[in-house]
Amino acid sequence: MTSILLPEAEAEIEAIVHEAAGSKSPLAIHGGGTRDIGRPVQAARVLSTQALTGITLYEPSEMVLAARAGTKLSEIEAALKANRQRLAFEPIDWRPLLGTRGEPTIGGVTASNAAGPRRIQAGAARDHLIGIRATTGRGETIKSGGRVMKNVTGYDLVKLFAGSWGTLGILTEVTYKLLPEAETETTLVLEGLSAAHAVEAMSAALGTPFEITGAAHLPGSPSQTLLRFEGFSASCAYRRDRLAAHLKPFGPVTAVEGDASQALWRPIADVTALGAAADDAVWRISVKPSDGPAVGARLEAELGSRLLYDWGGGQIWASTRDQGDAGAAIIRAALSGGGHATLVRAAHATRAAVPVFEPEPAAIAAIAEKIRAEFDPAGVLNPGRMG
Amino acid sequence: MSAILMPKPDERVLARRDAIIAGLAALLPAASLITEEDERRAYETDALTAYRQIPLAVVLPETTEQVSAVLKFLSAEGVKVVARGAGTSLAGGALPTADAVVLGVSKMNRILEIDTDNRIIRVEAGVTNLGVSGAVNHLGFFYAPDPSSQLACTIAGNIAMNSGGAHCLKYGVTTNNVLGVKMVMIDGTVVEIGGAALDSAGLDLLGLVVGSEGQLGVVTEATLRILPLAEGARPMLMGFQSAEACGACVAAIIGSGIIPVAIEYMDRPAIKVCEAFAHAGYPLDVEALLIIEVEGSEAEIEDLIGRITTIAAAFNPSTMKVSQSEAESAAIWKGRKSAFGAMGRIADYMCMDGTIPTGCLPQVLTGISDICAGYGLQVANIFHAGDGNLHPLVLFNANQPGELEKAEAAGADILKLCVEVGGCLTGEHGVGVEKRELMIHQFNTIDLDQQMRVKTALDPKWLLNPHKVFPLEGRPV
């Protein structure tokens, strides 16, 4: 029977971690519990940040927001929306893909460092995160960064914590810089391109000064290649015309504006556009964009994968049968030229048997291990979750 | 004597100097080893010239393999290593000690690969910042971080210090524009961190390395993001009769949803000196001047300038002037980018680099002026207003005994003020040796200990650029 601990303050978390480290009894760290990703953690107790809530700072004129880790993402997004601001990295809502319930928290967004289609232009969570507080496996609460946009004071532990999946410490408070919402957006759609042509078209568009904030390719019949830009309406109209002319060699272009454009991107961000069967495994593959089509073709041929290309071809979502290694050997062999693959969705048994995250070269793994040992010497925080 | 001290050199290392040099000579081409005192002197300081120390020796390797061999040898010998790019650090990041070997990356300056389809460039770490943009400008691309020293400073130094620049309001700083590095650890191990993809598996080691001030490893190659050049860009000048009005105007522009590529601020003393140097057409009768640059097509530029002008009108600017030509734009930026050099012609100065919440701007400017007046010193303020990164230049006369110490004390008080209002000690220059002892004002012992544990994990004997970043007292070694 798993027991759930719901501390309401850093001091309580420190006490829990002290005790856990002393007795070498591991803790599984949860936010909203919507991201069941990574190696399953064997722990008798769950430490949930759900009772550690509240926006602690929001200065719209300074474009900065801080919140305790368990604050619901929906609460933060509502506060930002009221001031026409946003977290520019387009946080992913994992619930539709993973079939999880509950409410994503800002701590979980940070610990997973996920980002949607706007990653290509705006960066990931790690690029917008400017400050953290976290209780390490030593039971000590540290801070790094702060609330200002430019800060090189000391080591950037902020970046190290983004995407650390609760293995270095328990995030207790995070501070993000914000960006204004765009006045409007436009998506240009090309139909019927092969993946190889689509990546060429996306590269051509991303090489223009028109500030593309989404570049995705949905195979299918017909396939759709989508290019998004955002900004003031006059500027979007100008870029629409220039970009359409630029993309003429790739075929006819249709423009989708405003709300209709927005509706195209949510399923891409949340990966429902992949259309994976309910019992399929789902991989996220990150490669050099021009390598994307060849990797995708191999997965289609050898694993019968459905594919979704995002980030101009640099991020591929792929379905595989959730059997055996769920395609791990073939996928990772396809990445011998560089890149990495994460098994985002699969049965616990599969994820316990297959390295969920790309195995690292020995020298890098050794560095990561040394660093992790300095933060969590007893190895009690989400042990094994990152492999 | 300056307030900043370096520890006594290790006599055992000094005594073995000949053997250490002989060992290095066996690993390097003759032209890559500098041992003569007059040649070593060129490496005794960086852009924080108040501190000088001739190093034990200087090595200028040509390849990653040579860097690896040198580090393996020096770590076995227990000799400290100070990695150096172009020596433009304003924080003393490349300041050596008498018992340390300086490892300069200046000979590793090749562009290795340009890939516009994937919008990346791979370079050796000794390439200059401007050299990266220069290699891709003709293809319609550029490298975004643009520190004022970009003509000289290297990518190695930019990565060490996580350098910013005037245009990072829109494009981010170094850490947002680096995709991968090849790095040599202190024991000679060569690792590749990140690569051509937008992210990598595992912990974000790249994020840790960028900004670690040469204390975790020596970066020899980097894969950088390049971005398409904007269709056009135009700066405008806006003068105000008070810092308050100017600061409020900046907040209103950003609050309206416009993110200009740059919003630079100068106060009256800075305007006067820069105008005398660059003839940029800056107004001399204002208390505060903004340079605001917008980008895009001609129509987009017109539109944005129109929007900004309308917003600014509410704050009664006494000057509002949009650049009318390429030449005028170049002059406007020349004035700003040469500000530190221009100031150096009239006085010695300490350049501070704190960041503050932008809402505290008027209060902090008053505080800075009071602090400097208290020490009987002049100050000129130049900074990146959009992100609150301040560069107060505390002016002094180095030939006047006691003035350097006063300037250092005033600088320290200014940085403490930045921390008190919720900001930080350094926004883009790094801690180096200069702000090392001030770290206790921003971090407590627990925070600092954890950072130092990271250093210890990757450099157990603290041989890489050891006397920087952390206060000398309270260290693990």
Contacts of A60 in chain B (CB under 8 A): 255
Nearest to B254 among A61, A144, A146 (CB): A61
CATH classification of the domain holding A127:
3.30.465.10
Give the nearest chain A residue to B170 (CA atoms). A122
Q: Is A365 among the domain residues? A: no
Chain B residues within an 8 Å CB radius of A121: none
Within a domain: residue A263?
A: yes
Q: Select the residue of A63, A127, A386 nearest B172 (Cβ to Cβ).
A: A127
Same domain, B135 and B218: yes
Contact between chains at A126 and B207 (C-beta distance less than 8 A): yes
CA distance A46 to chain B (A): 22
Task: Give me the pLDDT at residue B251, please.
Answer: 85
Q: Which of B197, B358, B447 sits opposite A339 (nearest CB)?
A: B197
Residues B242 and B308 in one domain: yes
φ and ψ at residue A267, rounded to 5 degrees: -65, -25
- Domain span at residue A145 reads 48-180
Same-domain check for residues A264 and A277: no
Q: Kindly determine whether residue B204 and residue A163, on different chains, have CB atoms separated by under 8 Å.
A: yes
Same domain, A286 and A227: no
Where chain A has pLDDT below 50, the residues are none
Contact assignment for A153 to B439 by CB distance below 8 Å: yes
- Least CB–CB distance from B202: residue in A60, A238, A368: A368
Task: Rounding to the nearest 10 degrees, give the CA dihedral for residues A293, A297, A299, A304.
Answer: 130
Total domains in chain B come to 4
From the CA of A222, how many Å to the nearest CA of chain B? Answer: 25
What's the pLDDT score for residue A117? 98
Shared domain check, A172 and A78: yes
Together in a domain, A66 and A87: yes
Q: How many interface pairs between A and B have CB atoms less than 8 angstroms apart? A: 255
Interface probe with A: pick from B204, B308, B389, most Cβ of A within 10 Å: B204
The answer to whether position B317 is within a domain reads yes
**Total domains present in chain A:** 3
Residue B464 lies in a domain: no
Give the Cα separation of B456 and B461 in Å (integer): 7
Q: Which residue of A has its CA nearest to B164?
A: A150
Both B63 and B134 in a single domain? Answer: no
Domain membership of residue A374 (yes or no) is no
Contact (CB<8Å) B208/A156: yes
pLDDT (mean) for B260-285: 93
Residues A237 and A323 in one domain: no
pLDDT in tens, B95-146: 999 999 999 999 999 999 999 999 999 999 999 999 999 999 999 999 999 9
Based on the fold, state whether residues B291 and B323 are members of the same structural domain.
Answer: yes
Closest in A62, A365, A374 to B453, CB measured: A374
Tell me, yes or no, whether B406 and B353 share the same domain.
yes
CB-based contact B257 A235, cutoff 8 Å = no
ipTM: 0.97
Contact A160 B203 (CB under 8 A): yes
Interface probe for A, chosen from B199, B302, B390, B459 (most Cβ of A below 10 Å), is B199
Note whether A253 and A332 are same-domain residues. Answer: no
Q: Closest CB to B173: pick one of A150, A340, A361.
A: A150
Nearest to A363 among B168, B189, B448 (CB): B189
Looking at A123, A151, A180, which one is the last position of a domain?
A180
C-beta atoms of B357 and A150 within 8 A: no
For residue B435, being part of any structural domain is answered with no
Check: CB of residue A151 under 8 Å from CB of residue B427: yes
B177 and B124 in a single domain? The answer is yes
**B200-211, pLDDT tens digit by residue?**
999 999 999 999
Whole-number Å distance between alpha carbons of B393 and B273: 12
A212 within some domain: yes
Q: Inspect the interface and report whether the beta carbons of A363 and B200 lie closer than 8 Å.
A: no
Instruction: Let me know if residue A11 belongs to a domain.
Output: no
A286 with B199: CB under 8 angstroms? yes
Q: Which domain CATH number covers A198?
A: 3.30.70.260
Same domain, A155 and A233: no
B135 and B78 part of one domain:
no
* Residue B134 domain flag: yes
**Chain B residues with beta carbon closer than 8 angstroms to that of A155:** 208, 211-212, 451, 454-455, 469
**Cβ proximity of A143 and B447 under 8 Å:** yes
Does B342 have pLDDT greater than 90? no
Question: Please, are residues B102 and B58 in contact by the beta-carbon 8 Å criterion?
Answer: yes
Asked if the Cβ–Cβ distance from A126 to B427 is below 8 Å, we say no
Are A55 and A176 part of one and the same domain?
A: yes
Contact (CB<8Å) B201/A164? no
Q: Which residue of A has its CA nearest to B208?
A: A156
Q: Are the beta carbons of B203 and A371 separated by less than 8 Å?
A: yes
Contacts of B200 in chain A (CB under 8 A): 286, 340
Output B347 or A309, whichever has higher pLDDT: A309
Residue of A nearest to B217 (CA): A367
User: Which chain B residue has the Cα nearest residue A286?
Assistant: B197
Same domain for A303 and A329: yes
Q: Given B199, B228, B257, which residue is the final one in a domain?
A: B228
Q: What pLDDT was estimated at residue B2?
A: 61
In a domain, A157, yes or no: yes
Q: Are residues B212 and B237 in the same domain?
A: no
A245 found inside a domain: yes
Sign of CA dihedral A294, A296, A299, A300: negative
Residue B52 lies inside a defined structural domain of this protein: yes
Residue B457 has its nearest CB partner, among A126, A158, A374, at A374
- From A240, A269, A298, the end of a domain falls on A269
Q: Measured between beta carbons, which residues in chain A are less than 8 angstroms from residue B456?
A: 374
Domain containing B289: what range?
Answer: 233-339
The per-residue pLDDT for range B21-62, each reduced to its tens digit, is 999 999 999 999 999 999 999 999 999 888 899 999 999 999
Bridge partner list, A15: none
- Tell me the three state secondary structure of residue A287: coil
Rounded CA gap, A111 and B204, in Å?
11
Residues B212 and B224 in one domain: yes
Residue B318 sits in the same domain as residue B418: no
Distance from CA of A25 to the nearest CA of B (A): 23
Residue B1: pLDDT above 70? no
Q: What is the mean pLDDT of residues B78-82?
A: 98
Asked if B325 and B385 sit in the same domain, the reply is: no
CB spacing of A357 vs B201 below 8 angstroms: yes
Contacts of B173 in chain A (CB under 8 A): 150, 152
Same domain, A218 and A297: no
Q: If we measure between CA atoms, which residue out of A271, A265, A281, A344 comes closest to residue A96?
A: A271
CATH of the domain at B42: 3.30.43.10
Mean pLDDT, chain B, whole residue set: 94
Q: Do B176 and A123 touch (CB under 8 A)?
A: yes
Give A286's contacts in chain B (Cβ within 8 Å).
197-200
Residues A137 and A67 in one domain: yes
Nearest CA in chain A to B232: A209
What is the rounded CA–CA span in Å between residue B404 and residue B350? 9
B15 CA to chain A: closest CA distance, Å?
A: 34
Name which of A65, A113, A151 to mutate to probe chain B: the one with the most chain B Cβ atoms within 10 A of its Cβ: A151
Q: Which residues of B touch A147 (CB under 8 A)?
A: 357, 422
Q: Is residue A383 part of a domain?
A: no
In CATH, what number is assigned to the domain containing residue A312?
Answer: 3.30.70
Nearest to A151 among B207, B355, B454 (CB): B355
Asked if residue B467 belongs to a domain, the reply is no
**B197 to A180: CB separation less than 8 angstroms, yes or no:** no
Question: What residues of B are in contact with residue A151 (Cβ under 8 Å)?
Answer: 355, 424, 426-427
Residues B372 and B279 occupy one common structural domain: no
Mutating which of A129, A153, A230 best tests the B interface, going by the most B Cβ atoms within 10 A? A153
Asked whether residue B95 is domain-assigned, the answer is yes
Of A160, A180, A200, the domain-final residue: A180
Q: Are residues A253 and A297 in the same domain?
A: no
